[in-house]
Amino acid sequence: MFYDFSSIEKKWQKIWIDKKLFETDINSKEKPKFYCLVMFPYPSGHLHMGHVRNYVIGDVIAQYKRMNGFNVFHPIGWDAFGLPAENAAIKNNIHPKKWTKDNIDYMRNQLKQLGISYDWSREISTCEPEYYRWNQWLFIKMFEKGLAYKKISPVNWCPSCQTVLANEQVENGMCWRCGSSVEERNLEQWFLKITKYAEELLDGHKLLEDGWPEEVLIMQKNWIGKSTGAEVDFSIGSEKIRIFTTRPDTLFGATFLVLSPEHPSIEKFGLHKKPEIQEYIKNSKKKTRNERILNREKTGVFTGLYAINPVNNEKIPVWIADYVLLEYGTGAIMCVPAHDQRDWEFAKKYNLKIREVIKSSESNIEKQAYEGEGTMINSGEFSGLSSEKGKEEIIKWLEKKGLGTKKINYRLKDWLISRQRYWGTPIPIIYCEKCGIIPVDEKELPVLLPENVKITGTGESPLKSVPEFIETKCHRCGSSAKRETDTMDTFVDSSWYFLRYCDPKNDRLPFDKKIVDYWLPVDQYIGGIEHACMHLMYARFFHKVLRDLGLLNSDEPFTRLLTQGMVTLGGVAMSKSRGNIVEPTEVIEKYGADTIRLYILFAAPPEKQLEWSDEAIEGCWRFLNRIWRLKEIIYQENQKKISVSKEEKDKLLRKLHQTIKKVTDDIEKRYQFNTAIAHIMELVNELYQYKSLGDETSKSVFEKIVVLISPFAPHIAEELSEKIGLKEESIRLANWPEFNPELIEEPSVEIVVQINGKLRGKIITKRDISEEEIKTQVLNDTKIKNYIKGQIVKQIYIPNKLLNIVVAE
């Protein structure tokens, strides 16, 4: 009696595609819209269970909304540019384009095997010119607005990937992709000015508080790193050294100044000529940015100069130390060793003055710096103020004296998008000796990625070896010019792809404003939390830029975000690099797509880690077969009639309506698919215990089970629906069942009985019993009656819950 999942699943997948069942009428406004989006996959070759979990969660949400009367938009595409394709080309001597397209074909088939209800008519691939043309167009628009610019700067270089990394792509000094140690290099690179939107990215969190995980918002807030303080000028002769501090209340405690090894004042004062400073700067350049920040052993060199502290006119020594970075703040810091642990360690090592200016019962500056709040001391006219009040007053004083000003700084840095690799969007810039750096004429877009490229994975961009790509004409003056050979960071591709889904065939603009203004923001986005400070931040930035360019009206791209947990094997996250992948195709061949879908949803709540278990997936397979057998039993011909009481029928119907309510609440309010499935399992168990399988009541309940299970296991639900004549069209277009509130309540209740507030027993009785009736039952209960030793003074009755009898003692 096992069901033939293989033929059933193939049958219904073909029907869905042939009928174009999930193609969205993008212009229809007859129903409320619901845009359900999953983070699109990189076509690495095969789906893994992390992919499966992400896409099945999205499909259940889309299916549930579809059954509740929404016009659901559920698209899919491919994040197709990127380094793995280039590395595979080098390793296997195959062009990245072929490698990528072959993988897309395979993975597309896997997604269809899973029965995901995607609108395949809107499929996009970011490596196609029809898509990356608009990357280039948007870059030009940003360039025209001053949001795209080029500069020489220290950059993160991954020697293994042979490319530059944005700050967000460096994790504890390691490349986010391959795990290699990152080096620092000075290169001329292209940047997008995300810092212009730093404050708005923070303010936008208010719109997302109800729909995004708090953890993601905190991660973004910390990455943006807003800090309010003051910029203050310290004098060295006639020169000014500007510092930024978040603690102006500690200015009186500044006992030395430290410059970064790259600070321009070093050359201005001729300090670079001193041998000991030369040697120190040389050694600093050998360290990565991360090594300098994290290095516990603080090192420095005295310059021989002294600066004037503006609040007390004290002369303080000026040092150079590599734990200060030029790009953070101003590249110079005032050092308050009593109230900053790094400064305290440096002062202790070089025997520099430590002055306490914030007093607290918790402080003990002999042992360590005190970095908390307190009362200001040794601070002239500001002594006695709270440190919080002191910050405000000292900033006012500095501004009045012309010695400093209030300043807001951000940890966030501009987005470095240049990549010295081949498989990405060519940056649409040309270099003309007469006209300078100019964008490509929009009429010439797309700047096509040439295919006759030798890819070695070492050295400069492979595009530099293609003369026919590099050599061009300036469209302004007609002179010879050269193309930019860097390609864009692939996070550019994923920063606006959800907009292109809405209008993927548009050859005049990246998308039609009217269409995206209707469909955006995305109602539900599903993807991993590892993208909190990269993709999700970049997509929010892009969305705001596109709004300011007049291309759309919404402020945020994603209303709700669900970050699903990882799928692990033996406690370790599944990944191809670790070799611990469970191949979805193998599981589908053994158990069917519905089983893997059911398991991936039932094994854990979506936001929690899921530990893969062969035993648990067997359990899901058995459950689907139990449903299949129920159909065989209930709908068999010439079934012997067994009469059951009205109470038994009511009990089964009550369980049905309770289940509908619980499953609805689990999906609608919390996306707790595991408990929703558990409730359906309980209902199936209840139906098996019903004695009159085959009567109208059992058939009615079974029909609802088929509908309830359909978002989770659509293939078996379709087949069962067809066999029992439930609906002519697909069950995936059926209406979600409604529960009857009157049928949910149990007919009997348990009422707690108290005597003078103490628990003395419990009475099981009919629901909504009157106060007098319950009192009579209590007084007839021998055990409880024994506790009533005096006159009843009063009684307090909470219907269906509690009776408290107060007795005079």
Is 707 in contact with 737 (CB distance < 8 Å)? yes
> What pLDDT is stored for residue 290 in this prediction?
67
DSSP letters spanning 639-670: PPP----HHHHHHHHHHHHHHHHHHHHIIIII
* Residue 128 CA to its chain's centroid (Å): 26
Phi and psi for 266 in degrees, rounded to 5? Answer: -60, -45
Outline where 68-177 has alpha helix (H). 83-92, 96-113, 129-144
Compute the Cα dihedral for 280, 286, 288, 291 and give only its sign.
Answer: negative
> What pLDDT is stored for residue 581 in this prediction?
79
- Contacts of 171-177 with CB under 8 Å at 24 or more apart are 172/290, 173/288, 173/290, 173/291, 173/294, 176/534, 177/83
Q: Token pair for residue 562?
A: 């669900």
Compute the Cα dihedral for 438, 443, 445, 451 and give only its sign.
Answer: negative
* Residue 225 CA to its chain's centroid (Å): 18
Give the CA dihedral 242, 247, 250, 255, nearest 10 degrees: -40
Q: Is the pLDDT at 638 greater than 80, yes or no? A: no
Element (H, E) at 372: none
Q: Is the pLDDT at 577 greater than 70, yes or no? A: no
Q: Rg of the chain over CA atoms, in angstroms?
A: 34
In this prediction the pTM is 0.87
Instruction: Determine the Cα–Cα distance for residues 767 and 747; give it in Å rounded to an integer.
Output: 5
Q: What is the pLDDT of residues 394-440, one digit of tens each?
A: 999 999 999 999 999 998 999 999 998 999 999 999 999 999 999 99
Q: Is the pLDDT at 762 greater than 90, yes or no? A: no
Is 539 in contact with 500 (CB distance < 8 Å)? no
Is 336 in contact with 309 (CB distance < 8 Å)? no
Instruction: Determine the Cα–Cα distance for residues 87 and 85; give it in Å rounded to an integer.
Output: 5
> What pLDDT is stored for residue 295 in this prediction?
67
Q: Which fold has domain 227-409?
A: Isoleucyl-tRNA Synthetase; domain 2 (3.90.740)
In terms of residues, how long is the chain? 809
Phi and psi for 687 in degrees, rounded to 5? Answer: -65, -40
Q: Please report how many Cα atoms fall inside a 13 Å half-sphere around the Cα of residue 606, on the Cβ side.
A: 30
In the chain, where the domains are located: 135-193+414-488, 227-409, 748-807
Is 103 in contact with 79 (CB distance < 8 Å)? no
DSSP letters spanning 217-262: HHHHHHHHT-EEEEEEEEEETTEEEEEEES-GGGGGG--EEEE-TT
* Residue 684 CA to its chain's centroid (Å): 36
Q: What is the pLDDT of residues 352-391, one digit of tens each?
A: 999 999 999 999 999 999 999 999 999 999 999 999 999 9
End-to-end CA separation in angstroms for the chain: 69
Phi and psi for 615 in degrees, rounded to 5? Answer: -65, -40
Is 53 in contact with 567 (CB distance < 8 Å)? yes
> What pLDDT is stored for residue 285 in this prediction?
81
Is 244 in contact with 231 (CB distance < 8 Å)? yes
768 dihedral zone (left: phi>0; alpha: psi -120 to 50; beta): left
Q: What is the pLDDT of residues 22-75, one digit of tens each?
A: 999 999 999 999 999 999 999 988 888 989 999 999 999 999 999 999 999 999
Q: Is the pLDDT at 572 greater than 60, yes or no? A: yes
pLDDT bracket for residue 771 (50, 70, 90): confident
Q: What is the pLDDT of residues 258-282, one digit of tens each?
A: 999 999 999 999 998 999 999 999 9
Residue 666: which residues within 8 A CB-CB, separation 6 or more? 672, 673, 675, 676, 679
Residue (of 554, 477, 486, 491) closest to 518 by Cα position? 554
Q: What is the mean pLDDT of residues 604-625?
A: 93
Beta-ladder partners of 778 = none
- Cα angle vertex 250, ends 246, 253, to 5°? 135
Is 412 in contact with 222 (CB distance < 8 Å)? no
Buried/exposed code over 363-385 (b: 16+ C-beta within 10 A; e: otherwise) = bebeeebbeeebbbbebeebeeb
Could you give the 3-state DSSP secondary structure of residue 201? helix
Instruction: Determine the Cα–Cα distance for residues 330 and 257; give it in Å rounded to an integer.
Output: 12
What percentage of the chain has pLDDT greater than the value 90?
75
Outline where 250-377 has alpha helix (H). 264-268, 275-285, 289-294, 341-350
> What pLDDT is stored for residue 576 in this prediction?
65
Q: What is the pLDDT of residues 662-702, one digit of tens each?
A: 999 999 988 999 999 999 999 999 999 999 999 999 999 99
Beta-ladder partners of 53 = none
Residue (of 733, 720, 805, 735) closest to 763 by Cα position? 805
From the number of C-beta atoms within 10 Å of its C-beta (0-12, 13-18, 19+), residue 171 rates as middle
Q: What is the pLDDT of residues 4-24, one digit of tens each?
A: 999 999 999 999 999 999 999
> What pLDDT is stored for residue 134 in this prediction?
98
Q: What is the pLDDT of residues 188-241, one digit of tens each?
A: 999 999 999 999 999 999 999 999 999 999 999 999 999 999 999 999 999 999
CATH of domain 748-807: 3.10.20.590
Instruction: Determine the Cα–Cα distance for residues 55 and 40; give it in Å rounded to an integer.
Output: 9
Residue 4's alpha-carbon distances to 22, 116, 621, 626, 708, in angstroms, are: 25, 20, 12, 13, 21
Element (H, E) at 715: helix 714-723
What integer best gives the mean pLDDT of the chain?
A: 92
782 CB neighbour count, 10 Å cutoff: 7
